[in-house]
């Protein structure tokens, strides 16, 4: 299993024209995005998984939150989006709403932030997902399997067959993230 972070403003070409890669999703959903990524990288995209943002928060809350090492001080406010992101660098306990703010963070109010901008943001997102998986596949969450399955059924859209999902989930339990 490979996870790839592609900066949203990366150039992609389809239909003979240059676009930002994130426009592929708007053009044709996950099917178009998978096609464009496959064409650009020259590798097949076997499966796609799309998680609704509400589902992301619900999953984090269902496992009781996630301990995560926030990589930098975050101080951002956007009144138009009713978005406030304020975290100190270091290990933090994050509930679903807090986790969403951390993975959405791009820059501080003063313009400072991640030195490598979207590359560092993508790294934070990957690191958070690794922490989420690590903290989800624990014995303490065995009693929450039904709740977790219900969240996945409601908020996840995938073309992956159930038997493959079970295989990958089982493999993830022993994975060193």
Which alpha helices (H) appear in 51-161, and where do they start and end? 53-62, 96-104, 118-136, 145-155
Name 32's Cβ contacts closer than 8 Å, sequence gap at least 6.
24, 25
pLDDT attached to residue 110 = 97
pLDDT attached to residue 177 = 42
The DSSP call for residue 72 is S
Q: Give the chain's residues under pLDDT 70.
A: 1-3, 139, 169-177
28 alpha carbon, distance to own chain's centre: 20
> How many residues are present in the chain?
177
The answer to whether the beta carbons of residues 94 and 68 sit under 8 Å apart is: yes
Closest by CA position to 36, among listed 54, 50, 49, 23: 23
């Amino acid at each position: 299993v490979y996870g790839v972070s592609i900066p949203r403003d990366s150039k992609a070409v389809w239909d003979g024209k240059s676009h930002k890669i994130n426009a592929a999703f708007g053009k044709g959903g996950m099917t178009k995005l998978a096609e464009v990524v496959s064409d650009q990288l020259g590798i097949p995209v076997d499966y796609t998984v799309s998680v609704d943002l509400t589902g992301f928060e619900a999953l984090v809350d269902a496992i009781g939150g996630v301990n995560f090492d926030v990589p930098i001080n975050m101080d951002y406010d956007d009144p138009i989006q009713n978005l406030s992101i304020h975290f100190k660098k270091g290990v933090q306990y994050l509930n679903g709403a807090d986790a969403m703010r951390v993975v959405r963070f791009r820059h501080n109010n003063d313009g400072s932030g991640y030195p490598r901008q979207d590359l560092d943001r993508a790294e934070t997102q990957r690191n958070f997902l690794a922490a989420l998986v690590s903290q989800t596949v624990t014995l303490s969450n065995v009693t929450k399997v039904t709740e977790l399955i219900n969240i996945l059924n409601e908020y996840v859209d995938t073309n992956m067959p159930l038997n493959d999902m079970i295989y990958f989930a089982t493999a993830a339990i022993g994975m060193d993230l």
